[in-house]
Chains A and B, each alone.
Chain A
């Protein structure tokens, strides 16, 4: 079972999407953890959790990659992941992916130590944040995997609730999927487009100037649509940010001082 006592050291699994497209989210997450006095270990041999192949039906390929990843976390300490989707893959799907395999026990051991970042910040570290930023209205999009696989739907709001100058505006159909779904966006592009069109419309309708999520897949989809709509339809584009980056920016004195 997941431990709830405060550890000294943790493993950080940054995810491939953050590695290649949103590294600042990963850096911010590490800095947030370090500020809490946690020693962060980032195994350099990490690549991807294997989810894209797993969700596409390519289980042998997913296992091949996952097998290299489970070996990177030998110490009995938490593995913190800044993504509900990748955390969900390791925690809820590795048991099925490794069922009956020689390294099943190893995979289960890894699965049991996985935490999604916001869950870890709230439940384990019980962080106490001080807002240094300006008044801002934000909308929150919780990923489906954070909501339904990891069961951590309320954590972003709990964190934002500590920030005095941040007001959360709730969009219609908040719990509905944004239409990313990994390869779904490529295999059923018309349905995915209809879903993200509605999602952006509802978020924009709140008047929020920023969108916060804990999953970069959703951010890639929603912010991509925002940018497209801004360019081609002249609509406003709320700034989309990973929760880690947003929290770090607003609670970091030095970064505030740098601003005019």
Chain B
């Protein structure tokens, strides 16, 4: 059966220019990252530290979330809990309606993508405008992000120039990046002043102090969170850390892993609305904490590591699959290796179960992950969950749904013969069996490769003939 995913993959693989563009972009990101970590021992030490900070936070997640709520409330930040994306959207809508707000300006937020917030608000007559340059570009073109930190990475300079020219005919055509950026800035500047509400994501939420941390490069995050009278932050419940002292190591490893920058241009620490003696800042600050399947992931000690993610995108940048098929082929909010483990857990194996097959388990992702998420091991575990029979022993959504009688029978037959040396050695030609694994796809092997040739005599036979001891 040719699935929707494989059709998208074929389409993406056919676009050689886009592929070359992705390759170049990912090469740059990988090189930049490598230059940031010249000392491997220091990198490994920092990865262990970052892992420990995130693991510690997750080990006390319920308590820390309570503490976070208490301290945020103390700081004057209003906390809202959303179990589903629909609830989160309704909360944002409710705040907007209270202020009779007809537009919202957004800093970059993947959780808002997860919520489908722009679409939700637009359906209700509210304009949602992206202010991150990459997000601004793809919004103009009606697209979704193809990368979690570089949403418009799939677009070339020429495509963006043409897009600006089509959408803003008053602005003279240019393919000068600085001029394009300046145009976007001018357009957005007025929007910042006019918007009654600003929205942002959150990189880290500090329980100890009730502080929301925001990492960004363009200043649009600061504008979105300080100019409009109301600021709404949205984030997943896993983003909490225990202490303020947890932040420096995470802030050190995040941008270096992501874009290969030593530090981002802006780092915002939001600790409350404008106080009586302050001249700027929003008068109201809200935080929406979204679950959307995270509690289920949290309930499994092995899968829990998924939630350590700090959304740097290093796994994506280093993935040999992502670099060839691009972000949109995944058909998910989060693409690449992190999407491969997160999306099937969040949305279920029935919808996104095929993604866990889109990995050669090469391990490049796990090797660079700044919080040492064992991504290949989690893919392996999800493959198990997708075909296991004892589904009562896992909370993974749609467990067992990918178990196919024929495939299961083939593996059982394989195990039966490989567990019996006499059968295996006599006639049990494993290659022949595996060849029958998925008959219509075996043709795929020989579409680009010659068929493997079986040896005349097996190693068993040859070593026996050579008199090599067998016990």
Q: Provide the main secondary structure of the chain A interface.
A: helix
Q: Which residues of B contact A231 (CB under 8 A)?
A: 450
Say yes or no: B470 contacts A43, CB within 8 Å.
yes
Per the bound structure, the CA–CA distance linking A231 and B450 in Å amounts to: 9
Q: Which of B222-230, B251-259, B429-437 contacts A (4 or more CB under 8 A)?
A: B429-437
Given contacts A23-B459, A40-B468, A193-B444, contact A181 B412 (CB under 8 A): no
Check A195/B450 contact, CB under 8 A, given A56-B383, A184-B359, A186-B444.
no
Which size class do B's interface residues fall under? 35 or more
How far does the alpha carbon of A220 sit from the alpha carbon of B434 in the complex, in Å?
15
Q: Does A44 contact B (CB under 8 A)?
A: yes
Residues from chain A with a CB closer than 8 A to the CB of B360 are 144, 177, 179-181, 184, 192, 195
B76 contacts partner chain A, Cβ-Cβ < 8 Å: no
Query: Which residue of B is nearest A93, CB measured?
Result: B380
| CB–CB B357/A184 < 8 A | yes
Q: From residue 433 to 471 of chain B, which have CB atoms closer than 8 A to chain A? A: 434, 437-438, 441-442, 444-455, 457-464, 466, 468-471
Residue of B nearest to A85 (CB): B361
Q: Kindly state whether residue B140 has any CB partner on chain A within 8 Å.
A: no
A25: nearest residue on chain B (CB-CB)? B459
Report how far A186 CA is from B448 CA in the complex, Å.
12
Residue of A23, A182, A195, A231 contacting most chain B CB atoms (<10 Å): A23
Given A39-B469, A144-B362, A221-B449: A44 and B418 interface contact (C-beta under 8 Å): no
Asked whether, in the complex, the Cβ of B357 is within 8 Å of the Cβ of A26, the reply is: no
**B126 contacts the other chain (Cβ, under 8 Å)?**
no
In contact, B10 and A190 (Cβ under 8 angstroms): yes
How far is A123 from B151 in the complex, measured between Cα atoms in Å? 46
**Is the CB of A135 closer than 8 A to any CB of chain B?**
no
Main secondary structure on B side of the interface with A:
helix
Please tell me which stretch of A60-68, A104-112, A163-171 contacts chain B, meaning at least 4 of its Cβ atoms lie within 8 angstroms of it. Answer: A60-68
- Judge if A41 is at the interface, Cβ distance under 8 Å: yes
* 0/1 interface trace, chain A 38-68, chain B, CB 8 Å (1 if under): 0111111111101011111111111011011
Residue of A nearest to B9 (CB): A190
Contact A44 B415 (CB under 8 A): no
Of the candidates B9, B377, B453, the one whose C-beta lies within 8 Å of that of A191 is: B9
Residues from chain A with a CB closer than 8 A to the CB of B358 are 188, 191
Contacts of A181 in B (CB 8 A): 359-362
Q: Which of B366-383 contact A (CB under 8 A)?
A: 366-367, 377, 380, 382-383
- Report if A61-B414 is in contact (Cβ < 8 Å); known contacts: A27-B459, A41-B471: yes
Are A227 and B6 neighbours in the complex by a CB distance under 8 Å? no
Contact A68 B448 (CB under 8 A): no
Q: Which chain B residues border A65 with CB–CB below 8 Å?
A: 414-415, 418-419
Residues of A within 8 A of B (CB): 12, 14, 16, 18-24, 26-27, 30, 39-48, 50, 52-62, 64-65, 67-68, 96, 144-145, 147-149, 175-177, 179-197, 220-221, 224-225, 227-228, 231
Q: Which 7 residue pairs of A and B lie closest in terms of their CB atoms, listed nearest first?
A: A181-B360, A189-B444, A224-B449, A57-B383, A177-B362, A61-B415, A227-B450
Contact surface of B with A, Cβ cutoff 8 Å:
6, 9-10, 13, 320-321, 324-325, 357-364, 366-367, 377, 380, 382-388, 408, 411-412, 414-415, 418-421, 424-425, 429-431, 434, 437-438, 441-442, 444-455, 457-464, 466, 468-471
